[in-house]
Amino acid sequence: MAKVLVVDDSETVRSEVSNFLTSQGISVSTAEDGLIGIKAIKSDAELKLVLCDINMPNMDGLTMVEKVREIEEGRRLSIIMLTTERSKTMVERGKKAGIKGWIVKPFNGNNALNGIQKLIAAN
Amino acid sequence: MQSSNELYTQIHVKVLVYDSHPELASILNTAFNECSVQIISDSKKDIFELLDEHSDLGAILISEDPPYFGRDNLFLILKKIRETRPELPIYLRLSDKKCPPLSKKTKELCTDYFNLDELDQLATSVKEKFFQLFYPQPLVNTLRHVSSEALSQLFKNGSIYTDEAYLVNDQIACAEMFSLIPLDASWCRGYMMLEANQEEIRTLLESMIPDRSKEEFNFQTCNALLSEITNIIWGAVRGHEHTEEQPSSQIQIPIVANRDGDRVTFGVSQPCLCFLHSIEITLDGIVRSISLYQKFIFNLTWHPENFNHQTLQSTNFMQPGSFQIFTDR
């Protein structure tokens, strides 16, 4: 079963996204901020995709993506930002770090599912 | 076709009128016409019951000879209002009957007092107190619209109704829970505050995550949802920033919360802009209404001329709920 990590400080978002993806046959793990997200990525080689918020305590999502790119060995994990942010500066920073997509909150599972499945399949 | 901006009326202030004069409401409506006062009146109820029901009042206007209590108890009533709602300006209407003069102590409890033939003066006093900041109507309408839209996106199975904007005093908390998030843009610096009651937030959670039992929704899950609602609306409002540059000023002032009497103050004298959203959710066949107070406190800087009335066009996938995949470069 494909595995996705959801990194978001909001328990509501983690639950909502996890419930939706699980109902679509996707296995989900969660992390509450960027620091915990990095630990989860390091310890789970089975991950196919990460959905990541930007505004989080301890470590923000874009910094997390940049750190993940520094520590990756061989694999290039697909990461999608899931955020209320829409600024061009942030999008460009994300693209530079090699993110695969951008979802503007609130999460709309039906809108996002096709893209998520494509990215999982591409991995 | 009428644009959404044209549908809305002027910002108002809610004033509780506690007076049994039969024509006072219509006289005041005429006198207050220019400064948009919404009169709340129910002389069948005790004044303190009314104050409890209406946490978001701007002011109170009371007769020198108040219903139920009478003139003899005026001092005690005013003193109690001052104690329970110290943020509320009190305007006292002097009786048209011949009465002994009011004591100095009684007068000191009032913000202002007036006769019925001095309503212009009263209207000016109210206007000076509440309309210290100029809020351009298109800006207010845009804030109202994007906030309401963001709630609609979040609660797809609910109906969102948003009242006209009004002004509320600093210092009063309108509900049990509140969230605060900074606003830091070229057009303003301050805070956005959302307030709601916990049981109502729990109802929203039940509607969003129906496969979990009600007992699983505790104060932490309620906090998390209020936080996410705040985040979503904040993101929508930020989509109207004029530039992406951050303001250079980093001036801050403390915000003080006092749990005794549910007080929170942003250290300013001017009232803040408020929207009251009602979210109607049908759960188990019963329609439930959830109130959400959204306040904008522009306590650090206010430059409405810098507000961008159009949604940012810097990227083409800006709508809430949208998803764009990037191709490899």
Looking at the complex, report in whole angstroms how far the Cα of residue B11 sits from the nearest Cα belonging to chain A.
28
Residue predicted with more confidence, A74 or B307? B307
Q: Does A109 touch chain B (CB under 8 A)?
A: no
Q: Tell me how crowded residue B20 is: count the other CB atoms within 10 A of its CB.
A: 12
A119 and B325 in contact by Cβ < 8 A?
A: yes
A86 and B231 in contact by Cβ < 8 A?
A: no
Q: Which of residues 25-54 of A touch B (CB under 8 A)?
A: none
CA-to-CA separations, B44 to B47, B50, B227, B296, in angstroms, rounded: 9, 10, 39, 34
Q: Provide the residue type at B276 as one letter.
A: L
**Average of pLDDT values for B255-270?**
83
Q: Does A105 touch chain B (CB under 8 A)?
A: yes
Looking at the complex, report in whole angstroms how far the Cα of residue B256 sits from the nearest Cα belonging to chain A.
22
pLDDT at B2 over 50: no
Q: How far apart are the C-alpha atoms of B62 and B94, rounded to whole Å? A: 9
| B292 phi-psi bin (left φ>0, alpha ψ -120 to 50, beta other) | beta
Residue predicted with more confidence, B100 or A114? A114
| Partners of residue A82 in chain B, C-beta under 8 Å | none
**Average of pLDDT values for A21-40?**
95
pTM: 0.85
Nearest chain B alpha carbon to A88: B314
pLDDT at B3 over 90: no
| Partners of residue A119 in chain B, C-beta under 8 Å | 325
Q: How confident is the model at residue A86 (pLDDT cuts 50, 70, 90)?
A: confident
B236 and A112 in contact by Cβ < 8 A?
A: no
Q: How confident is the model at residue B7 (pLDDT cuts 50, 70, 90)?
A: very low
pLDDT of residue B321: 77
Q: Which of B231, B238, B243 to mutate to test the interface with A (most CBs of A within 10 A)?
A: B231
CA-to-CA separations, A106 to B39, B108, B131, B154, B244, in angstroms, rounded: 37, 51, 35, 6, 22
Q: Which of A104, A111, A123 to mutate to test the interface with B (most CBs of B within 10 A)?
A: A104
| Partners of residue A10 in chain B, C-beta under 8 Å | 224, 227-228, 231
Nearest chain B alpha carbon to A84: B235
Looking at the complex, report in whole angstroms how far the Cα of residue B228 sits from the nearest Cα belonging to chain A.
6
Q: How far apart are the C-alpha atoms of B207 and B154, rounded to whole Å? A: 11
Nearest chain A alpha carbon to B151: A106
User: What share of chain A in percent tops pLDDT 90?
Assistant: 76
pLDDT of residue B251: 75
pLDDT of residue B250: 67
pLDDT, tens digit, 9 for 90 and up, residues B130-181: 888 889 988 999 999 999 999 998 898 899 999 999 999 988 888 999 999 9
| Partners of residue A115 in chain B, C-beta under 8 Å | 323, 325
How big, in percent rounded to 5, are the helix, strand and coil portions of chain B?
A: 35, 25, 40
pLDDT of residue B156: 85
User: What share of chain B in percent tops pLDDT 70?
Assistant: 90
pLDDT at B310 over 80: no
User: What share of chain B in percent tops pLDDT 90?
Assistant: 38
pLDDT, tens digit, 9 for 90 and up, residues B45-65: 889 999 999 999 999 999 988
**Which of A15, A99, A111 shows the shortest C-beta gap to B322?**
A111
Average confidence score pLDDT of chain B:
85
Q: Provide the residue type at B98 as one letter.
A: K
pLDDT of residue B164: 92
The residue to which tokens 């061009």 are assigned = A88
Tell me the residue length of chain A.
123
A111 and B236 in contact by Cβ < 8 A?
A: no
Q: How many Cβ pairs closer than 8 A exist between chain A and B?
A: 98
pLDDT of residue B242: 56
pLDDT of residue B253: 84
pLDDT of residue A39: 95
User: Which H/E stretch holds residue A4?
Assistant: strand A3-7
A86 and B239 in contact by Cβ < 8 A?
A: yes
ipTM given for this complex:
0.82
